[in-house]
A = this chain, B = another copy of it.
């Protein structure tokens, strides 16, 4: 077998808990998944704690971990990943933040911390403040780019910036925008907090006069006249994926955060218009993009988001149906890929139980199929069936070594 390849399918938030309407089965147990089950029969399964048993984890930290990065040292925070995900450039001295477009009154008290969530003019509002400079802080530039809904990726560039400042987003309405304060005694921290506060005020000055707000007011919509900041971070120096593993890697995803993670570690983002990260995502196109990139990549990550969103939305029936849609799409993948030289890994980045509506610390199922993969007795890809498999219960930090092991990319330690 010459240069085997690996595909990792991440079903975001796939794990779940028993659902009464499914006769106490999970959405994955209740779903008809002939392809996933065939792969389970062909290969071996297990369960995985991405960090450790019981510990809930975000998708960004989970993906970094599963890709073999040490989240405790390598996680840059949400801001930089969001900014990378929307295609912004970030320098190593820049500070990246997540912003929320919001509505404040004239005394800067928050009326709607998400300005209604669906904001058709979001790009225009954000464009109006992108490139903002401060008269009293020469050399500082504020960049912003719309992400999804009310979300804005923000980058502050200039000299003398520190990470030691507090956020301005209080995460609730009817309270003033929080004033950023320095979190240590340095000149840089004082300066950065002051820059954040000045930017906040200048954004208000710019946006409150926007004619777009006149129209929103007429329609009775929340105004968009501020950006609330949180999730600040700086890039960290991490070893790029290709240098680290000597693998050329690509990713198909419709999700900005995962795009950000991939850019951060140097995994190609493979363009795919139909990938929306929603229930309506074009899985066939995603599979096509994947298949057409098999020749020029060693490792391909297929990230599928809506398994998670349906858990957040507490919609088990939709989660089940979407899992069935994924299963059908995987049929095309496995009938068109070179099954003799390609390993397929299928897992989740965390569980999102519909009962909870958020990530929980339950383990996720894992499946490995492909040439010379040892076969166990697992006949179905689901939470409990996989737990009885050959892989037993593993940790996320070991996951990528399983991939590398199959690809023969790990040198033995010792003689």
Q: Which residues of A contact B (CB under 8 A)?
A: 17-18, 24, 26, 44, 47, 49, 51-62, 71, 75, 78, 81, 231, 257, 350, 353, 355-356, 358-362, 372-377, 383-384, 387-395, 398-405, 408, 410-415
Contacts and interface: CB of A to CB of B under 8 A. Distances in A.
Nearest to A61: B414
B52 A398 contact: yes
27 contacts: A18-B373, A18-B374, A26-B374, A54-B403, A54-B404, A56-B405, A57-B412, A58-B412, A58-B415, A60-B414, A61-B413, A61-B415, A71-B413, A78-B414, A78-B415, A257-B415, A350-B412, A355-B372, A358-B412, A360-B405, A361-B404, A361-B405, A376-B387, A377-B384, A377-B388, A387-B392, A393-B394
Nearest to A63: B414
Contacts of A58: 412-415
B78 A394 contact: no
A360 B415 CA distance: 12
Contacts of A362: 374, 405
A321 to B, nearest CB: 21
Given A62-B414, A388-B388, A54 B398 contact: yes
A213 to B, nearest CB: 29
Contacts of A403: 54
A410 B55 contact: yes
A387 B375 CA distance: 11
Given A387-B390, A390-B387, A393-B393, A413 B51 contact: yes
A57 B405 CA distance: 12
A12 to B, nearest CB: 12
B412 A359 contact: yes
B405 A47 contact: no
A62 B412 CA distance: 11
Contacts of A404: 54, 361
A72 to B, nearest CB: 10
B415 A372 contact: no
A342 to B, nearest CB: 16
A18 B387 contact: no
Nearest to A356: B408
A355 B358 CA distance: 44
List the 9 closest A-B pairs by CB distance, nearest first. A58-B414, A54-B401, A61-B414, A392-B393, A361-B405, A54-B405, A56-B412, A53-B398, A58-B415
Nearest to A401: B54
Nearest to A402: B54
A211 to B, nearest CB: 34
Contacts of A56: 405, 410-413
B394 A231 contact: no
A231 B353 CA distance: 47
A372 B353 CA distance: 10
A236 to B, nearest CB: 14
